[in-house]
A and B are shown apart, each in its own frame.
Chain A
């Protein structure tokens, strides 16, 4: 079977299964289990196919290029290490599915469970089989995400939600650090491909960025593997259903960090930094985890802290920079997965059959469920490191390594044997507590359920795993030996040391340490009996070390207090202040940008002063200042003055050879002025009162005046400096030269709009259309304030009569204006005009009718259907573009020719004309829609707006 097929199947099948599982009905427990189990088994087969090749020294690899421009390829790769992890993921995954079939109750929404579980399995597979670092981080984050969903599976439980959130926060934050670290790593190596990274060990270790890279990557690994001080999320995650805990906390999620450290061990380990960071964390985690585990009353809590402790042990082994320690680390990872998964499952059985996991209530289960008791005892013994079980062998290797490392000069090295023995002692104590507390003593009578043996199939996964513990413990070299060898060789390569997997190495120091730990552990348990039986919560000596509380306080600080403080310090509730700040920041930004260069006028000779322009702008400036001055109390005057400033702008465009701009500006001025006038009616009356303003108000005004004057001066200086410099040869030449030869029009501006940059124009008219629709929607539910409802006093009496003569003129002008609009549209390609101008012109024709006849008259006599105009316009414009696609050209490529209309002249028949027609229709429709929507308000029977809510209800009201 080709590599690509089974590698991608190993990842793809679980995801596919997850998808199908999510679609199954919620009561299809058996079907779900069959599906999930089948998928897990198939994935396991896929891994086996790969393993066959891996065992012969090959590295199956599959590449799927997906963004080759960026050098990113989806790479799957299975070496020895990956194959061992993948086997654990799929194998234990299968057992967990079998177990979960019996564990989950019929009330649980089962499709969700199996869908998440399978998706998590796929992510884990993707993580271990990734041949690309970024891809690996992607799957890493996916495992965080799906573990979040799995831990929070019982979403009705607050503990589950909190635990899930905490796990996600910690592991995903670590994932971000890891991502940054991986980016640095890729930067150092020049490639994200794992094979290339693994070949660049010396470059990485000697690089100046080695330390930051290492810290970031280890942050990811340590958070994921629940190492001190990030360990606190793991016990909280015990709120998950037990199959999830058995899966996540034995073989998969928490081992991802171990996997990462092992994967990068050849290139990142071997330095002091590596030892000190990992050694300290690992040692503290090993000791604290084991110590805290003793005092847990919840069986799962005990296992959680024991998991933390064992992960610390593996981390410590990895930190020692010794190949033999690496062998021990990989071996212990496998062993821990088997005995911890079986212990979790046994705990689940106890919980399931008795209704509680509290050691203080459980007692004497040995009589009611003897078979489960035997299984749990063997697994716990393996956890404690009792001889003839797998945990013993890897623990012996750990002791040996601790003794070897103790020869190094540092303190941390020299205390290793002591730490190892003490931790081993603690492990014996908590294992003993687990067994003795649950299974021995007088038979408990007050349990929520009457205990009995579980269904046989529920026990099967535990049996398989415990059998594994025993067979590996008795015959290590014959069973696990080859697999371990393949995994170790893939990490260490030629540096693989000689090691012996045997139960009996003679009577030596490690064995003595084991015996001391065993005896000490038993003694400690006996000594602690009184304290433990008292049933006190909490851990003696470590009361203050509550990671969860620290985490909660940090979260409250970050998400509440800090946020509130920042909002109070930096936020403004008023728009005025925001705009003021924005203007000031823009001003400062300009100053900052100009600071190094200074702002001097350029050296282009100024053109002479034309008195007409001078006069024009005296008027224009007067209008602008007048509008600014009058806008508060004399809105009509301000509107007229604004129009004046606009007209002067318009004249300036004409003066400086921009007829298109002038035309459009003129038309826009007319429409804007009318719309503003229509809006005035709904504003409150404001009578200028000469009353004294308060001093602060006056000061505020002076400050604003200062800001305004400064911005004005700045703008003037900036424009003067730009105008007196030669503008760089931009792309104008390109447009001028090609406007006719390629666009078929002599009006270059129009050709740019409808042809060269037609796509922009399409976007622009879409925006105009959206604005018109928004206006329409906003006004459908328009509620004016109470005082604006009545007819304004200016309209009392026979107001219509005042406009009688202009009205006749306006009505007569309607066809004329329409004709001019068509004329502007048709000539637009060659002479000033075009769709925008024509559309606005046409809407002015309608607008005049409103002014002449009043809203009611127009609504009775003219039906415009602006929505249809807009729709047709947009379709026409887009359709013209698509026409080019149909003809095999890029979108909006234009075609042109001239039609000879006899004495009417030549009509440019560019396809751009069709496009311009669309622009025309849309602009016309949109403008008229806005006009109709606003004008219609005055003839509607209005309901007044409800009185505004009390200010306390307005978000950001007077608080």
Chain B
């Protein structure tokens, strides 16, 4: 199971990195999204894989780390998801504006035009 997940992170990250180095703005956005999946999963994997462990306290008492899923990576990743959503939206708009201003969807605003 660990191997599957590690390879998946690798595939997501590798695809993301490939797209990062492409010349078109849209490729860049997709690449950053893929990369953020990889990174989120990587952070998440720090908490091990508690298949079937309850994430929510069952009784109104203090929780025992041995029983419950690790909440810390989850909280971190939750934050990361929201922030990467915001940056994606921002990139999208920058992409739109840059396309209008430079007449090209190249990341440097030049090169072969539309």
Contact = CB atoms under 8 A, between A and B. Distances in A.
A749 B71 CA distance: 5
A733 to B, nearest CB: 5
Nearest to B89: A930
B37 A646 contact: yes
Given A617-B5, A631-B22, A748 B56 contact: yes
Contacts of B1: 606-610, 613
A656 B7 contact: no
Interface string B70-99: 111011011101110111111011111101
A783 interface: yes
Contacts of B15: 624-625, 627-628, 708, 712
Contacts of B78: 660-661, 664, 749, 753, 836
Contacts of A610: 1, 51
A159 interface: no
A361 B48 CA distance: 90
Nearest to A763: B79
Interface string A642-681: 1001101100110111111100110010011001100110
A233 B57 CA distance: 73
Interface stretch (A164-172, A351-359, A772-780, A847-855): A772-780
A723 B9 CA distance: 12
Contact of A752 (B9, B20, B64, B72): B72
A635 B26 contact: yes
A831 B101 CA distance: 47
Given A613-B1, A675-B89, A945-B103, A727 B31 contact: no
A642 B92 CA distance: 15
Contacts of B83: 764, 767-768
Nearest to A665: B81
A631 B18 CA distance: 11
From A658, A675, A704, A954, residue with most partner B Cβ within 10 Å: A658
Interface in B28-73: 29-31, 33-34, 37-38, 40-42, 44-58, 60-65, 68-72
A782 B96 CA distance: 8
A91 interface: no
Contact of A657 (B2, B54, B93): B54
Given A645-B37, A736-B64, A576 B107 contact: yes
B86 A771 contact: yes
Given A583-B17, A652-B5, A715-B38, A627 B30 contact: yes
Contacts of A746: 56-58, 60
B19 A628 contact: yes
A709 interface: yes
Interface in B10-30: 10-27, 29-30
A722 B45 contact: yes
A767 B30 contact: no
Contacts of B47: 727, 732
Nearest to A958: B110
A371 B15 CA distance: 89
B44 A712 contact: no
B11 A624 contact: yes
Given A660-B74, A679-B92, A771-B89, A607 B97 contact: no
A926 B93 CA distance: 14
Given A720-B2, A740-B62, A948-B103, A831 B81 contact: no
Contacts of A573: 108
A657 B52 contact: yes
A748 B70 CA distance: 9
A661 to B, nearest CB: 6
A664 B81 contact: yes
From B11, B45, B110, residue with most partner A Cβ within 10 Å: B11
A787 B114 CA distance: 9
Given A645-B37, A783-B101, A658 B96 contact: no
Given A576-B107, A727-B70, A749-B78, 18 more contacts: A608-B1, A627-B19, A631-B27, A638-B30, A712-B10, A719-B42, A723-B48, A727-B46, A735-B71, A737-B62, A739-B57, A746-B60, A748-B56, A753-B78, A774-B90, A784-B100, A830-B56, A937-B96
17 contacts: A620-B8, A624-B34, A656-B44, A657-B50, A671-B85, A683-B95, A707-B18, A708-B21, A719-B10, A722-B46, A733-B65, A737-B63, A748-B68, A768-B82, A775-B93, A787-B114, A926-B86
Interface of A: 573-576, 579-580, 583, 606-610, 613-614, 617, 620-621, 624-625, 627-628, 631-632, 635, 638-639, 642, 645-646, 648-649, 652-653, 655-661, 664-665, 668, 671-672, 675-676, 679-680, 682-685, 704-705, 707-709, 711-720, 722-724, 727, 729-733, 735-741, 746-749, 752-753, 757, 760-761, 764, 767-768, 771-772, 774-775, 778-779, 782-785, 787-788, 830-832, 836, 923, 926, 930, 933-934, 937, 945, 947-948, 951, 954, 957-958
